[in-house]
Amino acid sequence: MGADSAGADGTGSSVVATLRSLFLGSGVRIAGTGVLALVLAVGVAFAAGFLGVPTVNEFQNEFTGVSDSTTTIGSKIEVTNPNPIGAGFLGVSGEYAIAMNDVHMANGSTGPIAMPPGNSTIDLETSLDNDRIPDWWVSHVRNDEQTTVNVNATVESDFLGRSVPVTQTRSIETDMLSSFNSTETRPVNSSSPLVSDPVLYVNETRAQWGEVTAERTGIAVDFYVYNPKDYAIPVSKLNYTIDMNDVRVGAGENTDEKVLEPNSLTQVRTVTYIQNENLDDWWVTHVERNQRTEVVIDFAASVEVAGTELDIPLEGATHRETIETDVFGTKDDTAPGNETDDDAGTDDESGDDTTGTDDESGDGTTGADDGDDTTATGDDTTTADDTTTGDDDGSTTSDDDGTTTDDGGILPVLDSHHARLG
């Protein structure tokens, strides 16, 4: 009887000793048991809905600095931790990416976040590589000067294996060329004793985007030039420069000769090019000036008068335009460098970020008989000798039975499918 009792007691003691050895036999085992218990407790709490992944309530981005190579983006991400304790033990981190017209521009991550219960703000800073600007520019022009900005932010918990994404979408729009379309008559003076001024008149100007490649962006420009003289004036060369915030982004000359017939209006087309490799330098100035750019396109012509070649600046045909952007919708409209004037254009209440049109410049829909003048159809130049006559004041009249002829041009005109990409 005593022996049996002793054996039973021994067996019970052995079981207890084994359990103690397994769970409480050493410091390591005690710690492991604690971790296991915590994991089980968290798992049960998560399954029961007591724990959750922090969520993004709102986030804002803005340009906070720029250098020759990078643009700094500062981000404020407002998050909510729904748990009654800090979320550090959940392995929470944040990531975000910025794309403009599906062109990847920048991405950043926070690393581990030890956020307290309730609402808090995460400050994040990342860099945009300015070398990405030419790729974005190509997409912007091909898309009719429109860009969709997508910012994707994600808060995830490695411990819980879950993530909460949020996306912010914004559209920006610019208008670089429409104000170039004008039917205003502008005199061209040579300031030379060889010929009385004005030597020519520019009666109309029009511009449109031409062929856009990864290397360059074409702008097809039409001048409707009236020659008030009784003799023909050959044009041997047209020069152009394109500056954006005083950064030279394009320059060149077109050397195909064109003859301006006496007392006639002639359409002269030239194609100018922005060299896209220069656009990252322009972007630096655009950010420095609170996303504001002054575009200036200057022209000059070489003409032959009385056997002498004269270089004449086409000052009246200079194109000036102001473009503004607000990439993230957080630009301070009262910040220095963002003042607007009557010609610059301002944001409207419809939500368009930028406009850059001058309503007073005309829309280019009057002043020409040929309704195809606004598209690059492949006709280099058009003369209207039979349809237009004029006096020395540059005014013109048209006959209903006039004809249009093709005399070649300063530059070959772009194919019709290159007239407007996007």
- Give the pLDDT confidence of 164-214 residue by residue, as tens digits: 888 999 999 999 999 999 999 999 999 999 899 999 999 999 999 999 999
50-107: per-residue pLDDT in tens? 477 788 888 899 999 999 999 999 988 888 888 887 777 678 888 889 999 999 999 8
Pairing of strands 146-157, 233-244: unpaired
| Interacting residues of 154 by C-beta distance below 8 A, sequence separation 6+ | 56, 94, 95, 96, 163, 164, 165, 166
108-166: per-residue pLDDT in tens? 888 787 788 889 888 888 899 999 999 999 999 999 999 999 999 888 888 777 888 88
Could you say which architecture CATH assigns to the domain 178-418?
Answer: Sandwich (2.60)
Share of the chain above pLDDT 70, in %: 66
Query: How many other C-beta atoms lie within 10 A of the C-beta of residue 300?
Result: 16
In this chain, the answer to whether the domains covering 55-173 and 178-418 adopt an identical fold is: yes
DSSP codes, 355-382: ----GGG--S-SS-S-TTTTS--S---E
For the entire predicted model, the pTM comes to 0.69
Pairing of strands 247-254, 233-244: antiparallel
pLDDT at 9: 55
CA distances from 421 to 100, 112, 214, 250, 340 (A): 18, 45, 13, 20, 30
Kindly tell me if the per-residue pLDDT of 18 is higher than 60: no
Structure tokens at 282: 């322009």
What is the average per-residue pLDDT within 407-414?
Answer: 33
pLDDT at 123: 86
| Interacting residues of 166 by C-beta distance below 8 A, sequence separation 6+ | 55, 56, 59, 152, 153, 154
Share of the chain above pLDDT 90, in %: 48
Kindly tell me if the per-residue pLDDT of 330 is higher than 70: yes
pLDDT at 111: 79
What is the average per-residue pLDDT within 297-302?
Answer: 97
What is the average per-residue pLDDT within 335-344?
Answer: 38
DSSP codes, 203-238: EEEEEEEEEE-SSEEEEEEEEEEEE-SSS-EEEEEE
Q: Specify the 3-state DSSP secondary structure of 198.
A: coil
pLDDT band at 17 (very low <50, low <70, confident <90, very high): low
C-alpha 170 chain-centroid distance: 12
pLDDT at 269: 94
pLDDT at 96: 86
The end-to-end CA distance of the chain, in Å, is 100
Q: Which of 170, 161, 163, 166 is nearest to 57 (CA)?
A: 166
Query: How many other C-beta atoms lie within 10 A of the C-beta of residue 71?
Result: 24
Q: Which of 245, 234, 283, 358 is nearest to 130 (CA)?
A: 283
Instruction: Report domain extents, the chain.
Output: 2-44, 55-173, 178-418
Query: How many other C-beta atoms lie within 10 A of the C-beta of residue 26?
Result: 10
Burial 385-418 (b: 16+ CB within 10 A, else e): bebbbbeeebebeeeeeeeeeeeebbbebbeeeb
What is the average per-residue pLDDT within 255-281?
Answer: 96
DSSP 312: E
Largest CA distance in the chain: 143
Q: Which of 208, 177, 175 is nearest to 347 (CA)?
A: 175
pLDDT band at 217 (very low <50, low <70, confident <90, very high): very high
Q: If you average pLDDT over every residue of the chain, what do you get?
A: 76
Q: What angle do CA 217, 221, 226 make, to 5 degrees?
A: 165
CATH code linked to domain 55-173? 2.60.40.10
